[in-house]
């Protein structure tokens, strides 16, 4: 298949593009190299890809998107580009909504103009918001977001659901649960904690450490995403949401201890207030993804941390 991958220079995007190329798909990438973290990091992410197939541009630029989707007959779009992170969304809610919702619709409008019928969309476990019933199921209510980031991801899901009804395109919305592994963004918890412990700096423990997350290794997420790309092409079915998680919840204080063990160093802990907008717990029910995508996470937290630390040391990250 010929596919457009947005956000190709990011953590998940670069891994996914490598997998899709290895599976014989023809990939064009789009990325605006947003300054949220250093451009050099994203350039390194692209090291194993054909850089000439990566277009620098913005999903909000309808002309740029049209030029790409009009340049050849594309079979689908894998839409990973977004503004990410709960904390930064608190100070820039309008920008998050514009990029994550309006940018998604800019892509859809161009898809319709050029006859592209399938999208795989990167959503987030954040859409479950204040839901206290775990594990989270795709049919749970998702109308109580805790942050502008979560609201923007849910808003994009709703907008996509509407255009499925009005245009006939098919969308697989993948709700990722705290993805980690080599190339993880430097602002994310596991990467920040690893760097702090390695440098002998204090790790900021938010609250009591009792919050928990379903940490999901990058290879497992890529397995599920690649399967979704191929399933949507073979069996278009309107709008369908899928949880992609690791299926085990880990407390924050336990996570820090396990990162320390992977590094062979003892963490120094500094307790700070909990972050506004953060949910207390996440845990994925992946039965639907298992049945329809063949998704079965294989890499547990300790093995994933071992691999991450190995990459972190080799990359000097």
Q: pLDDT tens digits, residue range 270-304?
A: 999 887 878 889 999 999 999 999 999 999 999 99
CATH number where 170 lies: 3.40.50.720
Number of domain units in the chain: 1
Q: Is residue 277 one of the residues assigned to a domain?
A: no
Residue 255 forms part of a structural domain: no
Residue 25 lies in a domain: yes
Strands 268-272 and 2-6, sheet pairing: unpaired
- Share of residues in the chain with pLDDT > 70 (%): 99
Q: Is the pLDDT of residue 93 over 80?
A: yes
Of residues 206 and 240, the one with the higher pLDDT is 240
Q: How confident is the model at residue 274, as a pLDDT?
A: 83
- Is 119 part of any domain? yes
Q: Tell me the per-residue pLDDT of 123-137, one tens digit each, with 9 for 90 and over.
A: 999 999 988 889 999
Q: How many CB atoms lie within 10 A of CB 62?
A: 15
Is 235 a domain residue?
yes
Confirm whether 250 is domain-assigned. no
Provide the pLDDT for residue 228: 96
Phi then psi dihedrals of residue 47, to 5 deg = -60, -30
- Which residue, 83, 82, 77, 70, is CA-closest to 107? 77
Q: What HEC string does 221-275 produce?
A: HHHHHHHHHHHHHHCCCCEEEEEECCCCEEEHHHHHHHHHHHHCCCCEEEEECCC
Q: What is the pTM of this model?
A: 0.96
Return the CA Rg of the chain. 19
Whether 295 is a known active-site residue: answer no
Please report whether residue 189 resides in a domain: no
Q: Nearest 5 degrees, angle CA 193-CA 295-CA 7?
A: 55
* Domain of 21, in residue numbers: 2-179+217-245+283-297
Query: Residue 317 pLDDT more than 80?
Result: no
N residues, the chain: 317
Cβ neighbours of residue 278 closer than 8 Å, sequence gap 6 or more: 86, 146, 147, 206, 211
In a domain, 109, yes or no: yes
Is the CA virtual torsion 293, 296, 300, 305 positive or negative? negative
Q: Is 186 helix (H, G, I), strand (E, B) or coil?
A: coil
Q: Which of 128, 149, 242, 295 is catalytic?
A: 149
């Amino acid at each position: 298949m010929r596919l457009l991958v947005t956000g190709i220079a990011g953590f998940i995007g670069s891994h996914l593009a490598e997998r899709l190329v290895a599976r014989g798909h023809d990939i064009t990438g789009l990325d605006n190299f947003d300054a949220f973290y250093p451009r050099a990091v994203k350039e390194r992410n692209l090291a194993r890809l054909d850089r000439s197939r990566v277009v620098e541009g913005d999903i909000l630029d309808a002309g740029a998107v049209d030029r790409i989707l009009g340049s050849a007959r594309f079979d689908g779009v894998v839409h990973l580009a977004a503004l990410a992170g709960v904390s930064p969304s608190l100070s820039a809610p309008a920008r998050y909504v514009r990029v994550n919702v309006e940018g998604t619709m800019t892509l859809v409008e161009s898809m319709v103009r050029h006859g592209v019928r399938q999208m795989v969309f990167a959503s987030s476990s954040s859409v479950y918001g204040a839901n206290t019933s775990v594990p989270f199921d795709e049919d749970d209510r998702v109308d109580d977001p805790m942050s502008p980031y979560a609201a923007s991801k849910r808003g994009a899901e709703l907008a996509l659901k509407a255009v499925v009804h009005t245009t006939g395109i098919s969308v697989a919305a993948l709700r990722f649960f705290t993805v980690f592994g080599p190339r993880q963004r430097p602002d994310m918890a596991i990467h920040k904690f690893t760097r702090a412990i390695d440098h002998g700096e204090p790790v900021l423990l938010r609250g009591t450490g009792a919050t928990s997350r379903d940490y999901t290794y990058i290879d497992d997420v890529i397995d599920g995403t690649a399967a979704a790309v191929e399933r949507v092409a073979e069996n278009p079915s309107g709008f369908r949401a899928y949880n992609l998680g690791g299926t085990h919840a880990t407390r924050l204080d336990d996570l820090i201890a396990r990162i320390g063990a992977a590094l062979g160093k003892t963490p120094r802990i500094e307790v700070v207030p909990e972050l506004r907008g953060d949910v207390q717990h996440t845990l994925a029910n992946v039965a639907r993804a298992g049945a329809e995508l063949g998704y079965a996470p294989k890499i547990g937290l300790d093995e994933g941390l071992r691999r991450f630390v190995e990459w972190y040391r080799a990359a000097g990250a």
